[in-house]
């Protein structure tokens, strides 16, 4: 018979292993911010064409979330993690033929494959971490795990900028620069998959695998939560995607690509600091209040970015990362709060929210390519995203009277 202490230790070990998954997909996502300026120059593309990188990557979250959920329902969550990591590794190795042939479509296919593996990992990891302990601290655990994710998003761009960005003598040489980082990621993914294949995880999700009938989107907090989470991911990814190009503008900072890329970790590092600090704050302050303050601060900072130039605009944009930090976990926790038996089904829908990272960077790229708008004013798009998130924190999270009584119906 397992003692309470042993069970607690198992939960801690399981949580520690899960954070490695958050680290993995954080590194992968943030390296896209390095690929964007690199491929823009290599393939001589405009902003819209370049943002197909994010469209291909985050589009996988929309297309593959339901198939991944179905597969995981058949093979179990541990095997789902192993399969997800294997797909990530295969996607990373796809960068080899893409670089040999200097083929943008093959690079996009490799990114889509990597993201598909990430979908498997996130379908399991987010709800698993949420229920890996007391419900009242679910948001805190998610923030800590997201903090580990942000550690990767802080470190990976620095390494990526050093290994990928630079001056090359030929397109073949420039394309080959991406091989090292992605071979390294493939090796890491396969090694972690081997660890998960042989360890035993506590079955805290037992009882949640039965099929729940009915439209889970009948709950207002979930409906609007899906929109808020989609807009958050869209705004976060769009800002990160344009950092290098934005800091290269002469009226902002006029930095060369390699120097501008060294500022990406300040944006993602803000998320890391905010998530670790937020994890502690959320032990005492409600997720709703923290989200309200963070969304308002993000709105103000992006407004300053749009309305000013030079270093004021630059630092305002980079500072948004600090307040982005707690949004994913807080919106996620608020959207599923009180949904009981519908929680896992609701989580599966929320995992599709990163499709915002496919749509909004591409839309901002279209705006940036319009001559009378340009890159500077295109940041109005994430500004509007934060306005809706603020509304969700003020009112959108509230349930219709008597609505949650349907949970036990």
Q: Does the structure show a pLDDT above 80 at 138?
A: no
Tens-place pLDDT, residues 66-92:
888 888 878 887 888 899 999 999 999
Looking at residue 202, its pLDDT comes to: 65
Alpha helices in 177-219 (DSSP H): 179-198
**CA-based R_g, the chain, Å:** 21
CATH of the domain at 364: 1.20.1250.20
Q: How far is CA 25 from CA 22, 85, 152, in A?
A: 6, 10, 8
In Å, the largest CA–CA distance within the chain is: 70
- Cβ(91)–Cβ(116) under 8 Å? yes
CA 27 – CA 86 distance, rounded (Å):
16
Look up residue 390 and give its DSSP letter.
H
- Cβ(347)–Cβ(337) under 8 Å? no
DSSP 93-151: HTHHHHHHHT-HHHHHHHHHHHHHHHHHHHHHHHHHHHTSS-GGGHHHHHHHHHHHHHH
Tens-place pLDDT, residues 273-321:
887 888 788 888 888 999 999 999 999 999 999 999 999 999 999 999 9
The average confidence (pLDDT) of the chain is 87
CA 56 – CA 211 distance, rounded (Å):
31
Phi-psi region of 327 (alpha: psi -120 to 50; beta: other; left: phi over 0): alpha
Tens-place pLDDT, residues 223-266:
999 999 999 999 999 999 999 999 999 999 999 998 999 999 99
Looking at residue 135, its pLDDT comes to: 66
- How many domains are there within the chain? 1
Alpha helices in 327-369 (DSSP H): 327-336, 343-350, 356-369
Burial class (CB in 10 A: 0-12, 13-18, 19+), 398: middle
- Cβ(140)–Cβ(114) under 8 Å? no
State the SS3 of 243-312.
HHHHHHCCCCCCCCHHHHHCCHHHHHHHHHHHHHHHHHHCCCCCHHHHHHHHHHHHHHHHHHHHHCCHHH
pTM: 0.85
Looking at residue 2, its pLDDT comes to: 47
Looking at residue 339, its pLDDT comes to: 82
**Position 4 confidence tier, pLDDT thresholds 50, 70, 90:** very low
Three-point CA angle 260, 263, 269, nearest 5°: 160
Q: Does the structure show a pLDDT above 50 at 367?
A: yes
- Cβ(263)–Cβ(157) under 8 Å? no
Looking at residue 1, its pLDDT comes to: 42
Distance, C-alpha 129 to centroid of its chain: 16
Query: Which SS3 state, helix, strand or coil, does residue 393 take?
Result: helix
CA 228 – CA 386 distance, rounded (Å):
9
**Which residue, among 156, 160, 214, 187, has the nearest Cα to 25 in the 3D structure?**
156
Structure tokens at 224: 């609007």
Looking at residue 3, its pLDDT comes to: 47
State mean pLDDT over 126-155. 75
Q: Any idea which of 138-142, 241-245, 291-295, 396-400 has the lowest mean pLDDT? A: 138-142
Q: Which residue has the higher pLDDT, 20 or 297?
A: 297
Domain assignment of residue 240, given as a range: 4-408
Show Cβ contacts of residue 132 under 8 Å, excluding neighbours closer than 6 positions.
11, 14, 15, 18, 141, 204
């Amino acid at each position: 018979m397992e003692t309470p202490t042993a069970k607690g230790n198992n939960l801690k070990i399981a949580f520690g292993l899960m954070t490695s998954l958050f680290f993995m997909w954080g590194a992968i996502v943030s390296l896209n911010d390095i690929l964007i300026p690199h491929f823009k120059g290599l393939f001589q593309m405009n902003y819209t064409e370049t943002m197909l990188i994010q469209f291909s990557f985050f589009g996988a979250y929309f297309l593959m979330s339901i198939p991944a959920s179905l597969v995981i329902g058949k093979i179990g969550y541990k095997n789902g993690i192993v399969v997800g990591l294997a797909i990530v590794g295969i996607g990373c190795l796809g960068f080899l033929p893409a670089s040999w042939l200097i083929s943008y479509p093959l690079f996009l296919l490799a990114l889509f494959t990597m993201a598909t593996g990430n979908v498997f990992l996130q379908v399991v990891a987010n709800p698993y971490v949420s229920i890996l302990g007391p419900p009242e601290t679910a948001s805190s655990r998610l923030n800590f795990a997201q903090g580990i994710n942000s550690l990767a998003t802080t470190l990976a761009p620095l390494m990526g900028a050093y290994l990928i960005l630079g001056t090359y003598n030929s397109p073949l040489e420039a394309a080959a620069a991406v091989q090292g980082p992605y071979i390294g990621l493939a090796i890491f993914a396969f090694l972690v998959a081997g660890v998960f294949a042989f360890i035993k995880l506590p079955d805290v999700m037992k009882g949640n695998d039965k099929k729940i009938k009915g439209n889970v989107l009948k709950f207002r907090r979930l409906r609007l939560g899906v929109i808020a989470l989609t807009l958050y991911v869209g705004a976060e990814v769009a800002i990160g995607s344009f950092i290098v190009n934005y800091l290269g503008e002469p009226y902002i900072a006029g930095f060369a690509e390699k120097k501008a890329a060294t500022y990406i970790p300040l944006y993602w590092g803000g998320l890391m600091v905010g998530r670790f600090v937020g994890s502690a704050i959320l032990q005492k302050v409600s997720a709703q209040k923290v989200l309200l303050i963070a969304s308002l601060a993000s709105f103000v900072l992006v407004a300053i970015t749009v309305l000013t130039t030079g270093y004021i605009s630059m630092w305002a944009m980079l500072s948004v990362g600090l307040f982005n930090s707690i949004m994913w976990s807080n919106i996620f926790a608020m959207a599923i709060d009180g949904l009981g038996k519908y929680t896992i089904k609701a989580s599966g829908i929320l995992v599709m929210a990163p499709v915002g990272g496919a749509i909004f960077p591409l839309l901002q790229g279209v705006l940036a390519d319009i001559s009378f708008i340009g890159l500077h004013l295109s940041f109005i798009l994430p500004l509007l995203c934060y306005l809706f998130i603020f509304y969700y924190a003020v009112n959108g999270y509230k349930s219709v009277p008597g609505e949650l009584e349907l949970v036990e119906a």
